[in-house]
Amino acid sequence: MALTDRVLLGPGPGNPYPEATAGLAAPLLGHLDPEFLRIMDESCDGLRTVWGTTNRRTLPLSGTGSLGMEAAFSNTVRQGDVVVVAVNGLFGKRMCEVASRYGAEVIPVEHRWGTPVDTQRVLEAHPAPAIVGAVHAETSTGVRSDIAELGAALRARGDDTLLLADCVTSIAGEPIDLDGWQVDLAYAGTQKCLGVPPGLAPFTISERAWERRVQRPPVWYLDLGLLGDYLGSGSGGGRTYHHTAPTAMVAGLHAALGRILDEGLPQVFDRHVEAGTALREGLAELGLELFAQEGHRLSQLTTVKVPDGVDSAKVRAQLLNAYNIEIGAGAGEFAATVWRIGLMGHNARLGRVAQLLGALRAILR
């Protein structure tokens, strides 16, 4: 089988990107071409739609998802600010590390991996932190946390804490209502459910957070004050040169967003639920046990325990070599005991589920 036939069901930046191909394969435009500027503006509009926000400052930053995380903290954290981070997996841990590098006094609220964020415990961690950060869909564990509940609880408390949500694996894979959930800052990546190669970090910031941003952050490239002009939303209203936009990547994002919105967001989300449900049922029929806590399982990323006595790496190698299917190993301490199976974007289809289950059945028999 050719490498191009490979079915990549891992959670990492290795999903196939048919959605974006139309944009990537189109004749490329110069970064100042009015047609490119239109594609950029439409992409920002598309991001507002999939995210459920009217935030003026919504744009794809030039870098991967982690860069979005870095942009959020570098523009909002002042030396000594208290930042509470809900940690229920690898990416919550990363938030702590990034926030602390910008001078935050980080209070991690540790959760057992595989469980969702406990809003009450996050609230009790500090009476009035500057920022609360949480991951909506933890790719390391396959768990969804309730960002709406967290936002409502923070607002009910009446302080002006900013809420930051990591939406890397949730964007375009499940409903998100940033404005309704009262989220101030969010970032994402393109290579998960958006189905675009890695390289852009969709980012959004509310007016409230914008007003409280650090005026001269210790990082130049990610200074949102400068990027406002880059986008044409700065004080002067016009576009000024900040850095050269990655035109091909933006064209890919534009094509993918167009395809997703053409299919319809409810239809896209239903497709993810249908595929995820079928996968979980099929895994149960094979006698496999799921890792993430029931009721909080993602459709787009399923974590399953490697059965006792089975060599995790060997099965993954067999899937890849004999069936051309790639799944992910577990994250962190679960590297050898958990598999992570992505059904993101284009791959959220029953056909993919059947392919994988058939192969797994044959291998485990």
Ligand X SMILES: *Cc1c(COP(=O)(O)O)cnc(C)c1O
User: Can you give the binding site for ligand X, defined by CB under 6 A?
Assistant: 64-66, 91, 135, 139, 166, 168-169, 189, 198
Q: In angstroms, what is the minimal distance from the CB of 17 to ligand X?
A: 14
Q: In angstroms, what is the minimal distance from the CB of 64 to ligand X?
A: 3
| Alpha carbons within 13 A on the beta-carbon side of 202 | 35
- With CB atoms as reference, the residue minimizing the distance to ligand X is 65
Start-to-end C-alpha separation, the chain: 23
| Residue 77 or 135 with smaller CB distance to ligand X | 135
Task: Please list, residue by residue across 172-207, b when 16 or more beta carbons sit within 10 angstroms of its beta carbon and e when fewer do.
Answer: bbbebebbebbbbbbbbbbbbbbbbbbbbbbbbbbe
Q: In angstroms, what is the minimal distance from the CB of 74 to ligand X?
A: 15
The closest of 328, 241, 251 to 36, measured between CA atoms, is: 251
Say which residues have a Cβ less than 8 Å from residue 172's Cβ, sequence separation at least 6.
Answer: 50, 192, 193, 194, 195, 260, 268, 345
| Residue 65 or 276 with smaller CB distance to ligand X | 65
| Residue 67 or 359 with smaller CB distance to ligand X | 67
Which CB contacts under 8 angstroms, 24+ apart, belong to 98-101? 98/66, 98/69, 98/70, 98/73, 99/73, 99/131, 99/133, 101/73
The closest of 316, 210, 233, 266 to 59, measured between CA atoms, is: 233
| Residue 144 or 352 with smaller CB distance to ligand X | 144
| Residue 189 or 234 with smaller CB distance to ligand X | 189
| Residue 36 or 187 with smaller CB distance to ligand X | 187
- Nearest 5 degrees, angle CA 96-CA 98-CA 100? 65
| Residue 293 or 324 with smaller CB distance to ligand X | 293
Q: In angstroms, what is the minimal distance from the CB of 311 to ligand X?
A: 26
Q: In angstroms, what is the minimal distance from the CB of 83 to ligand X?
A: 16
Q: In the beta sheet, which residues pair with residue 144?
A: 137
Q: In angstroms, what is the minimal distance from the CB of 91 to ligand X?
A: 4
Q: In the beta sheet, which residues pair with residue 59?
A: 203
Q: In angstroms, what is the minimal distance from the CB of 68 to ligand X?
A: 8
